[in-house]
Structure 1
Amino acid sequence: MAVFITGGARSGKSSFAEQYAMKVATKGIYIATCQPFDEELEQRISKHKLNRRDSGFQWTTIEEPYDVAERLEQIVGEQSASEAQGMDLPVILLDCLTLWLTNWLIRLDDNETKQSSLGIEIAKLLKSIQSCPFPLIIVSNEVGDGIVPAYPLGRIFRDEAGRLNQQVAAICERAFLVTAGIPIELKAIAFSWEQL
């Protein structure tokens, strides 16, 4: 079962995701996509690690800025062996999609290469999400509510993030929007065409 959680910066989405994880399993694997490009990011990452350590929940952190699909498949393979031995299965928390997308956009410089290579990576990620048999929580930022970025890469990022969020939310069983620390379950209140 995959769960999608989105929201703005500092909305409380990661905290909600971690709390959700603690309710569905006794241990977790945290796939962190953030790269420490500067000292401030290093401090943020350290703070997140400390918070997870101090939570009392058993987290295994894997830092994976690019190959998330492959890492998910590897985890599933390893955990399937554990399941066969009757061991408790972990929840997998991927935080976050927009940082993963940013990493790929920075890595791919040429625009034509960017679009085709990014499409391949997104397809691999979607496939790995759909085939994950364990509880999977995916965190992403909602970036389309702000101003239109003034530079081309910013506009590409905003557009790609919006499309990626739609695709991931569509294949997840549940989807939440977190605003001001308050989670709203989107699929539970979503409009359907049958209502017309």
Structure 2
Amino acid sequence: MAILVTGGARSGKSAFAEQYAKRTGANGIYIATCQSYDEEMNERIGKHRRDRVDSGFAWETVEEPYQAADRLARLERQFTVNAENGLKPPAVLLDCLTLWLTNWMLRIDQQSLGDSRLEAETLKLLAAIQAFPYTLLVVTNEVGDGIVPSYPLGRQFRDEAGRLNQRVAAICGRVFLVTAGIPVELKSRAFRWDQL
């Protein structure tokens, strides 16, 4: 079952997702979508890696800035074979959707890959998330609560991130919003039109 964890920057969403994974798996696979473009980002990535090692939980980190859907499909096949041999599958944490989206938007913009490429990659990822039968935590950011970006790519990113979050939330069994380190499960509290 897929679980979406969303929130603002430094809200505690990744820490919550990591704790959730620790409680559902004997070990975990961390699919990291971040790419490093400067020294400060190198330091952040290094700190996150050290924190996972120091957590006492057996994380395997996989760097996957673009092909998260393919990675999930490979993991699904691997876990199915392992399950047939009596092995419990690890929890998988995909962190994060908005960085995956950033990577693709920049690649499409820089390489002029065409307007349909982002939708094709998004559909591929949505299908992989929906098909994944094991514990999958997907972390994303809420980026639309602030000011309207002053440049076109920023506005496009904000819109695409909002649409992507909605689409992923629709296919996840549970959706958590984390604010100030406090997780709230949203789907069980969501308004339904039949309640009118």
Q: TM-score range by the shorter chain?
A: over 0.9
Map 1:33-72; keep pairs closer than 5 Å: 33-72=33-72
Identity %: 61
C-alpha separation in 2, matches of 1:68 and 1:110? 20
**Distance change (3 Å), C-alpha of 1:114 and 1:158:** farther
Match of 2:27 in 1: 27
Larger CA deviation: 104-113 vs 34-43: 104-113
Deviation of 1:80 after TM superposition, in Å, equals: 1.2
TM-score by length of 1: 0.97
Q: 2:134 aligned with 1:116, yes or no? A: no
Deviation of 1:111 after TM superposition, in Å, equals: 10
Larger CA deviation: 103-112 vs 81-90: 103-112
Gaps of 5+ in 2: none
Match of 1:100 in 2: 100
C-alpha separation in 2, matches of 1:33 and 1:25? 21
Q: In 2, are the aligned partners of 1:105 and 1:114 still within 8 Å (CA)?
A: no
Q: Would you identify which runs of 4 or more consecutive aligned residues in structure 1 move more than 3 Å?
A: 110-114
Q: Deviations over 1:52-87 (max 9, x none)?
A: 111111111100000010011011111111111111
Match of 1:159 in 2: 159
Match of 2:84 in 1: 84
Deviation of 1:115 after TM superposition, in Å, equals: 2.8
C-alpha separation in 2, matches of 1:151 and 1:41? 23
TM-score by length of 2: 0.97
Match of 2:174 in 1: 174
Deviation of 1:93 after TM superposition, in Å, equals: 0.3
- Say which SS state the counterpart of residue 93 (structure 2) adopts: strand
- Residues paired across the two proteins, number: 196
